[in-house]
Amino acid sequence: MPSMKAVRIHAYDGADVLAYEDAPRPTAGDGEVLIRVHAASVNPFDCAVRAGHMSAYLNYTLPVILGVDVSGIVEEVGAGVTTFKRGDSVYARGGVTRDGAYAQYAVVPASDVATKPKSLDHIHSAAIPHAVLTAWQALFGLANLTKGQTVLIHGAAGGVGHLAVQLAKWRGAKVIGTASRNLDFVRGIGVDEAIDYSTTPFENVVSNVDVVLDTVGGDTQQRSWQVLKPGGILVSTIQAPSEETAKAHGVRGAFVFSAPPIGETLTEVAGLVDSGQIKPEVSAVLPLQEIRKAHQMVEAGHTRGKIVLQVA
Ligand SMILES: NC(=O)c1ccc[n+]([C@@H]2O[C@H](COP(=O)([O-])OP(=O)(O)OC[C@H]3O[C@@H](n4cnc5c(N)ncnc54)[C@H](OP(=O)(O)O)[C@@H]3O)[C@@H](O)[C@H]2O)c1
């Protein structure tokens, strides 16, 4: 069986369990696309899987290749795939519980693949999928953000946050964003009001917002209820909001998990990128072999935009 280089985990634990090694090269099954990976990005989700935090909710068979974000070239398509052909430049959100993109080749259902933005290289395209699908589902799928509304985005400089800021601006909303060391960056991507969460309790300066996007959780989520206007909504990517607390404040709460249609949404996002509405930020590029360092950087909690693995 042909092999490839990949990063797999054989057990759950710290970054040391990430093993750069030979693994069987996959093939495309029915309805699937085999992608020759040029770049993959690192998400906090990958770190949570590696640490074993997701195994109570999702089924994994070890060893497994991590990584849900990929940009690359179609190598082969499985039976029934008519939307892509060998040689196409694509980006995709790969399988959440199957082998992923920290590898030379990755298989993704064709429905979760899209033509990559023409104006971006693979490194920047790989930074987009999981984060933008989450931001899209939170702001548009759950919160129904509309022109003229105000949204408070916690973690505005992070992977999800920096794309959420740009999507919300595109939709015509007023955006308030929180950050600390990345404050200048969030101003640069268009927030109307930037709050340094390390010096200013946001609830002292924010009130009456329509939507809160919470990518931080804990105390930040708790203090967010009071800044919503009646009928507003708090959407969290990290911690399911309490229905009781939401009711007590006369607002709604929702938990986001990026949802289909993945391919269609990524196609629309590619259009927004190519028309200059959205620009992904890549703050570090590491070779696949340096995956342990990449996980440690993400787990430090201060990533500006995304950290991307260069594969090809
Ligand atoms: N439910 C889902 O489907 C889903 C999907 C994607 C992500 N997530 C989760 O959502 C969370 C965020 O993901 P991500 O990819 O955006 O993470 P990330 O890129 O690692 O976020 C890093 C950012 O968080 C900011 N930050 C740290 N502490 C903060 C605080 N107390 N207040 C405001 N900002 C703070 C940092 O800003 P400074 O450096 O300026 O401090 C940094 O820019 C993660 O827990 C992830 O697992 C869930």
Residue 200 phi/psi, 5° resolution? -125, 115
Among 302, 307, 308, say which to mutate for ligand 1: greatest number of ligand atoms within 8 Å of CB.
Answer: 302
**Residue 45 reports pLDDT greater than 80:** yes
Q: How many CA atoms lie within 13 Å of 49's alpha carbon, on the beta-carbon side?
A: 26
Say which residue the tokens 């040689």 belong to: 87
Q: What digits encode the pLDDT tens for the residues 95-122? A: 788 999 999 999 999 999 999 999 999 9
264 C-alpha to ligand 1 centroid (Å): 25
For ligand 1, say whether the CB of 304 is within 6 Å of any of its atoms. yes
Closest atom of ligand 1 to 181 CA is 40
266 C-alpha to ligand 1 centroid (Å): 21
215 C-alpha to ligand 1 centroid (Å): 5
Q: Give the model's pLDDT for residue 43.
A: 98
Say which residue the tokens 């930020």 belong to: 281
Residue nearest ligand 1's atom 25 by CA = 155
Confidence of residue 258 (pLDDT cuts 50, 70, 90): confident
What is the model's pTM? Answer: 0.98
**Residue 235 reports pLDDT greater than 90:** yes
Closest atom of ligand 1 to 304 CA is 43
Kind and range of the H or E element at 34?
Answer: strand 32-42
**Measured distance CA(242)–CA(112) in Å, rounded:** 31
For ligand 1, say whether the CB of 303 is within 6 Å of any of its atoms. yes
Percent of all residues in the chain with a pLDDT value above 70, rounded to a whole number: 100
**Residue 303 reports pLDDT greater than 90:** yes
Closest atom of ligand 1 to 180 CA is 40
* Paired tokens of 258: 């990026």
Percent of all residues in the chain with a pLDDT value above 90, rounded to a whole number: 96
158 C-alpha to ligand 1 centroid (Å): 5
CB neighbour class for 201 (10 Å; exposed up to 12, middle 13-18, buried from 19): exposed
Residues recorded for the chain: 312
102 C-alpha to ligand 1 centroid (Å): 21
Residue nearest ligand 1's atom 45 by CA = 238
- pLDDT, average across residues 276-291: 98
Q: What digits encode the pLDDT tens for the residues 76-102? A: 999 999 999 999 999 999 978 899 999
For ligand 1, say whether the CB of 96 is within 6 Å of any of its atoms. no
238 C-alpha to ligand 1 centroid (Å): 9
Residue nearest ligand 1's atom 12 by CA = 215
For ligand 1, say whether the CB of 236 is within 6 Å of any of its atoms. no
Mean pLDDT of the chain: 97
- pLDDT, average across residues 233-245: 97
